[in-house]
Structure 1
Amino acid sequence: MTDARPLGADEATFIAAVRSDDATRFALVTERHRRELQVHCYRMLANYEDAQDLTQETFLRAWNKRESFKGNAALRTWLYRIATNACLDFLRKRNDRVPVLSELPDPGSELPYLQPYPDRMLPEDPQESVVARETIELAFIVAVQHLPPRQRAVFVLRDVLGWPASKAADALESTVASVTSALQRARVTMREQLPGRRLDWRSPATHELSSSERGAVKSYIDAHERNDLDALMSLLRDDLRFAMLPDPGTVTTTAEDAVDGWVSGGLFQPGHDDWRGIPTTVNRMPAAALYVRTPDDSEYRLFAVAALHIVDGKIAELTGFDATDKPWLDLPPAL
């Protein structure tokens, strides 16, 4: 696989590390690519912890294959190729990494393995396509999971990262014709999964939350802290889509069903009616970290993270995640 480019500093340093068998220099030059490779693995797998593991697997494979790097391609390209194939190998071995049909009149699907992505772990360069908000939001990540693994890889390489067909074909040891066909099929599926959503993934993207989004998060937290179900209902669109992960069977498609489910499950009832919250972001989406204090406790304990998709000031989608035992979310465990 080749890029029509002169040997760069990264590549020269990497080759020198290989020739000297210097693991420390190897780690220094590859480590700077960790964050973007981890986002790439996350798009392929929709799970933060799996993405961490596969990024580490990528570096292990790169070290083991270091003699094969001749500088004919950019080091970044070479690492993406290894990461993509590591994810495909992982998916071939796992039969639990496909969307599960939910038991709804309007069939949707659930991803019990979906995890949020902490914004602090995104690459720092706001110009990088890997951090475009539209391609890291949960709805996009879920839609990508509906693609068969090879189509998924082609779609991410071509339409998210903007690789030419020949480069993607080399990475996947395929042909340009095969890659082009896979991309066409993938785009059809993505349009089916994201009706009405933005489908031009490579045009200029937003990064900052709007004032409407920030206001909705504040109101959402306020409603919890006041234990005010009426105020909470007023924030939710009637056609709210809600899921609580990783619990199966929690998807609902109306605000009323969602609130009824929360109450019947014990939330906002004695013992689970003393809330605190802090605004945060995950997947470049507005989110609320919710803490609850039980009668026998002096502190508010981290309970869940609610990622919100807000339309015209109202919550259209709410994805809740169990936030306990997830230090990588970088949230205080207690308030």
Structure 2
Amino acid sequence: MSEAEWGSGTDAPRARLLDAARRGDSDAFGHLVDPFRGELHAHCYRMLGSVHDAEDALQEALVRAWRGLERFEDRGSIRSWLYKIATNRCLTLIERRGRRELPTDFRPGAAPLAETSWIEPYPDERPGPEARYMAREGMELAFVAALQHLSARQRAVLVLREVLGFSAREVADLMETTVASVNSALQRARKTLGTRLPGTGGPRSSDEEGLDEEGLRELADRYATAWEAGDVEAIVAMLTDDARYAMPPLPEWYGGHEEIRAFLVEGPLTYRWRFLPAYANGQLAFGTYAWDEDRKVYVALGLDLLAPRGTRIAEVVSFLTPEIFPAFGLPTEIAD
């Protein structure tokens, strides 16, 4: 069947697309599932804490959907069916490889470093209010990190119910369990998440923390300017008293003004810097570039995600993985 025969995008009659897909038309299948790819990828990321694992899980889920299309009952929602397949794939991956976390998650008795893998930032090409909306929809780094401390099934239930808005009955059907089991898992998940995100049992938003869009832009401008000027006191003045600074994949992190000031003076601020704005997890972010004297250029070093609280910054997570820059639309170097 040609695109002209079925129409385009979501305007095409689903029954005709489904019928064509069941006869082996891969283009028709693509038209059926493409409207859901973005949200399914985000769902897999929340579950797994890794962009790369999310891509793998989504691709495997779509392959399974394609192969199992005959088993799809047309009276149901194809979106719900795809979420069921993607969620089950994520549950399998979690069982195989455990959870991810950030250096700031570590406390005495935490997992040995050799057994730990880090949360990865999620590319967000949408600036301004849409980025703040993304944070409300459960993509904020702290929320995704907190999710990793839930059991796999609790994680799935909370995301499906609290973030995606599925009913308890729908989640029970997706996970092939009972409504009572879903409600019990949700209650336990909320309790655990409340200890990881004080004051809330779900995703947080910078909008709710006291800064509007103009305030966020102004804070971002001051932060980048202070770093490029090498002004440690200006940087520290923008931090909350209990601010934390972490640098995955390095295990160490710093807390409070004195620790962070000493770290900056002895380490990062011995270099010259340039910052470029980026968008990640619905949060303020920057691609950071350090001066390379031999090459006479600024080279990519890290992606910084900032978590504002009120009018100051409560946490900076600097991902020292410049190989991820292309995914965020950032160059790998900047001329002087």
TM-score above 0.5: yes
Number of residues of Structure 1 aligned to a counterpart in Structure 2:
316
1:258 aligns with 2:260: yes
Task: Sort the Cα spacing of 1:82 and 1:23 in 2 relative to 1 into closer, same or farther, 3 A.
Answer: same
- Following superposition, the deviation at residue 255 of structure 1 comes to 2.7
Task: Sort the Cα spacing of 1:285 and 1:212 in 2 relative to 1 into closer, same or farther, 3 A.
Answer: same
> Aligned residue for 1:296?
294
- Aligned partners of 1:317 and 1:202: how far apart in 2? 14
- Aligned residue type for 2:257: A
Task: Sort the Cα spacing of 1:279 and 1:126 in 2 relative to 1 into closer, same or farther, 3 A.
Answer: closer
- Following superposition, the deviation at residue 9 of structure 1 comes to 5.2
- Aligned partners of 1:259 and 1:217: how far apart in 2? 19
Indicate which of 312, 315, 336 corresponds to 1:314. Answer: 312
- Aligned residue type for 1:90: L
- Aligned partners of 1:310 and 1:159: how far apart in 2? 23
- Aligned partners of 1:102 and 1:254: how far apart in 2? 16
Q: TM-score, normalised by structure 1?
A: 0.85
- Aligned partners of 2:202 and 2:288: how far apart in 1? 34
Contact 2:41 2:55 survives alignment (8 Å): yes
Indicate which of 28, 31, 36 corresponds to 1:28. Answer: 31
> Aligned residue for 1:240?
243
Residues 18-69 of structure 1, C-alpha deviation per residue, up to 9 Å, x if partnerless?
Answer: 3321112212321221110000001101111111111111111111111111
Q: What is the correspondence of 1:1-335 to structure 2 with a 5 Å cutoff?
A: 11-95=14-98, 97=100, 104=107, 112-120=117-125, 131-133=134-136, 135-197=138-200, 199=201, 210-248=213-251, 250-264=252-266, 266-269=267-270, 273-326=271-324, 327-335=326-334
- Following superposition, the deviation at residue 134 of structure 1 comes to 5.4
- Aligned residue type for 2:327: W
- Following superposition, the deviation at residue 115 of structure 1 comes to 1.0
- Aligned residue type for 2:269: F
- Aligned residue type for 1:251: W
- Aligned residue type for 2:330: L
- Aligned residue type for 1:315: I
- Following superposition, the deviation at residue 245 of structure 1 comes to 1.0
Contact 1:99 1:145 survives alignment (8 Å): no
Structure 2 stretches lacking a partner, 5+ long: 1-10
Task: Sort the Cα spacing of 1:137 and 1:99 in 2 relative to 1 into closer, same or farther, 3 A.
Answer: closer
Structure having the higher helix fraction is 2
- Following superposition, the deviation at residue 257 of structure 1 comes to 1.3
Identical aligned pairs, as a percentage?
A: 38
Task: Sort the Cα spacing of 1:334 and 1:201 in 2 relative to 1 into closer, same or farther, 3 A.
Answer: closer
- Aligned partners of 1:106 and 1:310: how far apart in 2? 29
> Aligned residue for 1:3?
none
- Aligned partners of 2:262 and 2:44: how far apart in 1? 36
- Following superposition, the deviation at residue 202 of structure 1 comes to 11
Residues 103-137 of structure 1, C-alpha deviation per residue, up to 9 Å, x if partnerless?
Answer: 65898999742111111289xx969x8x3535211
- Aligned residue type for 1:314: R
- Aligned partners of 1:44 and 1:282: how far apart in 2? 17
- Aligned partners of 2:250 and 2:241: how far apart in 1? 23
Stretches of 4+ aligned residues off by more than 6 angstroms: 98-101, 105-111
Residues 294-316 of structure 1, C-alpha deviation per residue, up to 9 Å, x if partnerless?
Answer: 21122211111111111232111
- Following superposition, the deviation at residue 72 of structure 1 comes to 2.0
Q: TM-score, normalised by structure 2?
A: 0.84
Contact 1:100 1:109 survives alignment (8 Å): no
Task: Sort the Cα spacing of 1:12 and 1:149 in 2 relative to 1 into closer, same or farther, 3 A.
Answer: same
Task: Sort the Cα spacing of 1:202 and 1:297 in 2 relative to 1 into closer, same or farther, 3 A.
Answer: closer
Q: Describe the SS at the equivalent of 1:32.
A: helix
Residues 213-263 of structure 1, C-alpha deviation per residue, up to 9 Å, x if partnerless?
Answer: 211211111111111112111112221122111222x22221321232344
Q: Describe the SS at the equivalent of 1:233.
A: helix
Q: Describe the SS at the equivalent of 2:322.
A: coil
Task: Sort the Cα spacing of 1:48 and 1:260 in 2 relative to 1 into closer, same or farther, 3 A.
Answer: same
- Aligned partners of 2:333 and 2:230: how far apart in 1? 19
Structure 1 window deviating more from structure 2 (325-334 vs 141-150): it is 325-334
Structure 1 stretches lacking a partner, 5+ long: 1-7
